[in-house]
Amino acid sequence: MEKRIIKLSDRSILSIGGKDSKSFLQAIITCDVEKISSDPVYGAILTPQGKLLYDFIIFKKNNEFLLDISKLNIKDFKKLLTIYKLRSDISIEERLDLSVFVDIENKTEDIKFLDPRLVEMGSRDILESESLDYGADLILYKNQKIKLGVAETGDDLVVGEIFPMEANLDYLKGIDFQKGCFIGQEVSSRMFRKGTAKKRIVNFTSNDHFTNKEEIVYNGTRIGTVIKKIGANGIALIKVDKISNPDRETTTITTENNQKTMVINLPSFFPKQTGTTQK
């Protein structure tokens, strides 16, 4: 099978350097910066109220942190970090000379690191923009992401709209509740302890047409909304406890003018006890 090296043209790189870079990031983001060594880590920054602002993958190279983030979000993310910077001795720079490359089949030695969220997302690395030959279409990566039930801010999720547990960051190793404080930690920790994340992003299949933000109605009750659909695969934010057989449920979707059918599947990374936060 041919290699599928993809340059993610919808991602950008922000570098954080300087002697205070580790302590600066450790105090504000959800992942444990102390654990970032040779392998990248998935993380996010939240609002003080605990809503998800931006998620990213962090690499450490040449004594600086490289954040792989949506190109749609990088300008606002840089501004936010500048506000939090205060007197910290750090540098914040968008690296236009670098790009994110992925191989969803994990078959090339040129891309060294597994995606920290899921092995099924393939390998991933930040490299010089023209360092690799690539030819596979970006849509292959987007399809893989949707099939696995993975959503990202910028491409899929509106900034500041949902909680990180609703976006499954706890299941995807994007929050470390043992690390100590981070922005929005109080609300997130409470949701984690009490298992109050009733809505979760799930993947679905359907041959019917769905629009983004379309409501999902099941047994006469609104249980969620469609986030995105590519081909026959999509992701939606639903109240998992409202589905009678959440492992595989054929759900009739009622819209204003017609009826549609989708097959809702919980992503493979969900724990066996669905609808609650994994502890």
> CATH number, domain at 203?
2.40.30.110
Structural domain including 213 reads 198-265
Domain assignment present for residue 85? The answer is: yes
pLDDT value of position 38 = 83
* From 40-49, 185-194, 267-276, the region with the lowest mean pLDDT: 267-276
Query: Do residues 227 and 191 lie in contact, with contact meaning Cβ atoms separated by under 8 Å?
Result: no
How many domains does the chain fold into? 2
CATH assignment of the domain containing 11? 3.30.70.1400
Sign of the C-alpha dihedral computed for residues 16, 174, 124 and 37 taken in this order: positive
**39 and 106, same domain (yes or no):** yes
Torsion of CA 277, 32, 35, 120, to 10 degrees: 40
Torsion of CA 50, 54, 55, 57, to 10 degrees: -130
Domain assignment present for residue 127? The answer is: yes
Neighbours of 61 (CB within 10 A): 14
Q: Which two tokens stand for residue 27?
A: 């105090």
Identify residue 163 by its one-letter amino acid code: F
Q: Which two tokens stand for residue 166?
A: 């609703």
pLDDT value of position 244 = 59
d(CA 201, CA 96): 32
CA-closest candidate to residue 13, choices 58, 43, 45: 58
Question: CA separation (Å) from 271 to 163, 168, 170, 178, 192?
Answer: 19, 11, 11, 20, 14
What is the value of pTM for the model shown?
A: 0.90
d(CA 55, CA 45): 7
Domain assignment present for residue 37? The answer is: yes
Q: Is the pLDDT of residue 278 over 50?
A: no
**144 and 202, same domain (yes or no):** no
Q: Is the pLDDT of residue 71 over 90?
A: yes
Task: From 148, 183, 208, give the residue that closes a domain.
Answer: 148
**18 and 141, same domain (yes or no):** yes
Query: Do residues 168 and 57 lie in contact, with contact meaning Cβ atoms separated by under 8 Å?
Result: no
Domain assignment present for residue 259? The answer is: yes
- Where does the pLDDT of residue 42 fall: very low under 50, low under 70, confident under 90, or very high at 90 and above? very high
**142 and 233, same domain (yes or no):** no
Q: Which two tokens stand for residue 188?
A: 């997130």
Q: Is the pLDDT of residue 172 over 70?
A: yes
Domain assignment present for residue 276? The answer is: no
**142 and 253, same domain (yes or no):** no
> pLDDT digit string (tens) for 133-171?
777 789 999 999 999 999 999 989 999 999 999 999 999
Query: Do residues 184 and 167 lie in contact, with contact meaning Cβ atoms separated by under 8 Å?
Result: no
